[in-house]
């Protein structure tokens, strides 16, 4: 078993470069299934969720070659199967994108129910509603989703919930459908826009991504043949912004899209941190104890749920009493029990938590319950007095490339050891 040993406290100072976005890459890789040809993807994060997505495509007959540390060449001319292996799809959430992509390209798909972080109930009813509206028959049984259609025909779809996954999945299924599809109440996250940009680069005709109404004019085929660079990871950039504030440090974050983080920038300034934007870099520093805040997580452009635990660490040592209301997931406060082991004073109940700011945290053995909880606990270990041992690293490795090396470059005393 691997663990991270972190000795703190450290004030983080220096520069860090952000990788490609996990949540864009894990959608774009399945989206390549729609191409009758090849494509090259750049800025692909080398993380375990990406590696599993690629392995699944290989099992479907796709030819894939890494041609650089973050560049992959994909040939989807021939697809030999529409059945994604169940043991692989159950390992991560984004395997649900295989459904929309295989349905769109081949007219049928069999994919295991998706796994991923345990954040409470994670239904896919809106994905299924979209596929059915396009004319597919969908059956969920024995842990599998089976979808098939003799033809997919464009239509108007209203999503009952703003869902990143359903928006992208319906977009995938509609790209090669006959006629025009509209998705109303669509998610507006940067990775939704990135998937649409990727598909358009390969020959699709999608308009309005980034607004709540997306229009997809079906095309006969995607020829591919192009190179596409995955958008920088908004959540990784936000993680380092919050690490700068929590450690009262000074970090310049390169290769990011600052406007994707407007909402976090505003909150950081509200609690006493400083943010300076220069092109695709964000300079964040904080020279005093952050002050209390009230946070509510919401779909983009609201405060992202995927930065809620990292913000929770900042508020656990802020001056005063803070409140976080989680607006997306039922169960995203599991990290607060771990922070309390480190001396925090947090009361979480349902989808709300109250943070009584303490002067400092102390190192302790703690367990990552999910990906972002893991990132938050790394930050907590860095600012805490003494040694923190962090377990369950498989969650962190799903979504952050070289995370301990990046923190080490900023001065953190952090080592991965195998027990």
The residues that touch ligand EPZ, with contacts defined as CB under 6 A, are 23, 26, 93-94, 117, 121-127, 161, 163-166, 187, 305-306, 328-329, 371-372, 399
Omega before 301 within 30 of 0, i.e. cis: yes
How far from 151 is each of 55, 180, 221, CA to CA, in Å? 28, 14, 14
Residue 81 or 161: the one with the smaller Cβ distance to ligand EPZ is 161
CB of 235 to ligand EPZ, least distance (A): 6
CB of 97 to ligand EPZ, least distance (A): 8
Omega before 9 within 30 of 0, i.e. cis: yes
CB of 351 to ligand EPZ, least distance (A): 10
CB of 356 to ligand EPZ, least distance (A): 26
Residue 110 or 233: the one with the smaller Cβ distance to ligand EPZ is 233
Residue 205 or 330: the one with the smaller Cβ distance to ligand EPZ is 330
Active site residue 286: no
Residue 398 or 406: the one with the smaller Cβ distance to ligand EPZ is 398
Residue 124 or 383: the one with the smaller Cβ distance to ligand EPZ is 124
Are 326 and 309 within 8 A, CB to CB?
Answer: no
Are 264 and 273 within 8 A, CB to CB?
Answer: no
CB of 186 to ligand EPZ, least distance (A): 11
Catalytic residue among 39, 117, 256, 286: 117
Enzyme catalytic residues: 117
């Amino acid at each position: 078993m691997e663990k991270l040993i972190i000795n703190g406290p450290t004030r983080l100072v220096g520069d860090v470069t952000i990788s490609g976005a996990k949540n864009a890459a894990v959608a774009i890789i399945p989206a390549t299934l729609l191409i009758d040809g090849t494509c090259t993807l750049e800025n692909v994060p080398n993380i375990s969720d990406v590696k599993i997505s690629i392995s699944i495509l290989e099992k479907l007959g796709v030819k894939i070659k890494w041609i650089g540390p973050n560049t992959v060449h994909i040939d989807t001319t021939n697809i030999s199967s529409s059945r994604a292996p169940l043991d692989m799809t159950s390992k991560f959430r984004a395997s649900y994108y295989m459904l929309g992509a295989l349905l769109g390209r081949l007219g049928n798909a069999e994919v295991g129910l998706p796994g991923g972080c345990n954040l409470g109930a994670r239904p896919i009813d809106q994905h299924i509603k979209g596929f059915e509206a396009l004319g597919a028959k969908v059956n969920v049984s024995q842990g599998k989703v089976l979808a098939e259609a003799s033809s997919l025909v464009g239509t108007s779809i209203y999503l009952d919930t703003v869902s990143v996954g359903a928006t992208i999945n319906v977009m995938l299924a509609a790209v090669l459908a006959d006629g025009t599809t509209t998705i109303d109440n669509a998610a507006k996250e940067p990775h939704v826009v990135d998937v649409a940009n990727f598909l358009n680069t390969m020959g699709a005709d999608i308009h309005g991504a980034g607004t709540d109404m997306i229009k997809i004019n079906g095309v006969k085929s995607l020829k591919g043949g192009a190179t596409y660079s995955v958008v920088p990871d908004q959540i990784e950039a936000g993680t380092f912004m919050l690490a700068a504030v929590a450690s009262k440090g000074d970090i310049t974050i390169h290769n990011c899209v600052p406007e994707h983080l407007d909402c976090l920038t505003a909150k950081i300034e509200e609690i006493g941190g400083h943010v300076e934007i220069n092109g695709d870099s964000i300079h964040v520093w904080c020279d005093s104890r952050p002050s209390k805040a009230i946070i509510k997580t919401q779909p983009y452009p609201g405060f992202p749920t995927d930065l809620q635990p990292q913000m929770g660490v900042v508020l656990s040592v802020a001056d005063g009493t803070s409140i976080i209301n989680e607006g997306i997931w039922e169960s995203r406060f599991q990290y607060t029990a771990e922070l309390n082991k480190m001396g925090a004073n947090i009361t979480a109940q349902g989808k709300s938590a109250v943070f009584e700011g303490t002067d400092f945290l102390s190192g302790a053995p703690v367990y990552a319950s999910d990906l972002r909880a893991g990132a938050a606990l790394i930050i907590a270990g860095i600012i805490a007095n003494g040694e923190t041992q962090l377990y369950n690293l498989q969650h962190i490795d799903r979504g952050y490339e070289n995370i301990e090396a990046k923190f080490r470059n900023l001065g953190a005393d952090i080592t991965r050891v195998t027990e």
